[in-house]
């Protein structure tokens, strides 16, 4: 894990423990993630992050709205995957960034407890994941 990932991890944890973001934490996050963080905070402010969780397993996936158009939504795992174009282009192909804005929005909303929770059956969740 890179130094910046470690810094980010400890930041997410402390945000999670207080359920709030201080100015200092926000500027460190901005330093690490730049413009994507700004876009992510906009998504979180609009309550654009949902978790779809399967019952009874409690396995879940994030569903994050696009920044510009509300009807766009992307399935994503905060640490490893997002269905958006930028994830494949900027992150997987070019390796320029660590996370796309949807992943950052998911991390931030989860740490703040700001996700909208949607419960489905495990079967429904499995069908949804099979379509990714
Ligand atoms: Zn994305």
**Rounded distance from Cα 29 to ligand 1 centre (Å):** 17
Please name which of 108, 111, 118 lies closest in space to residue 63, comparing C-alpha atoms: 118
**Rounded distance from Cα 44 to ligand 1 centre (Å):** 14
**Rounded distance from Cα 77 to ligand 1 centre (Å):** 9
Question: What is the crossing angle of helices 3-18 and 23-33, to 10°?
Answer: 150
Instruction: Find the DSSP H helices in the chain.
Output: 3-18, 23-33, 35-45, 85-86, 101-112, 122-130
**Rounded distance from Cα 54 to ligand 1 centre (Å):** 22
| pTM listed for this prediction | 0.92
Q: How far apart are CA 71 and CA 21, in angstroms?
A: 28
**Rounded distance from Cα 14 to ligand 1 centre (Å):** 24
* Tens-binned pLDDT, residue by residue, of the chain (132 aa): 678 888 999 999 999 999 999 999 999 999 999 999 999 999 999 999 999 999 999 999 999 998 776 678 999 999 899 999 999 998 888 887 889 999 999 999 999 999 999 999 999 999 999 988
Residue 64, CA atoms < 13 Å, CB-side half-sphere: 32
């Amino acid at each position: 894990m890179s130094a910046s990932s470690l810094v980010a991890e400890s930041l997410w944890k402390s945000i999670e423990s207080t359920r709030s973001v201080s100015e200092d934490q926000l500027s460190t996050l901005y330093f690490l993630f730049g413009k994507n963080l700004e876009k992510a905070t906009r998504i979180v402010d609009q309550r654009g992050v949902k978790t779809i969780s399967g019952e009874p397993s409690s396995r879940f996936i994030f569903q994050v709205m696009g920044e510009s158009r509300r009807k766009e939504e992307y399935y994503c795992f905060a640490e490893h995957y997002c269905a958006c174009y930028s994830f494949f282009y900027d992150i997987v192909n070019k390796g320029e960034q660590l996370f796309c804005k949807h992943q950052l929005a998911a991390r931030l909303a989860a740490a703040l407890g700001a996700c909208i929770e949607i419960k489905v059956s495990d079967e429904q969740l499995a069908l949804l994941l099979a379509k990714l």
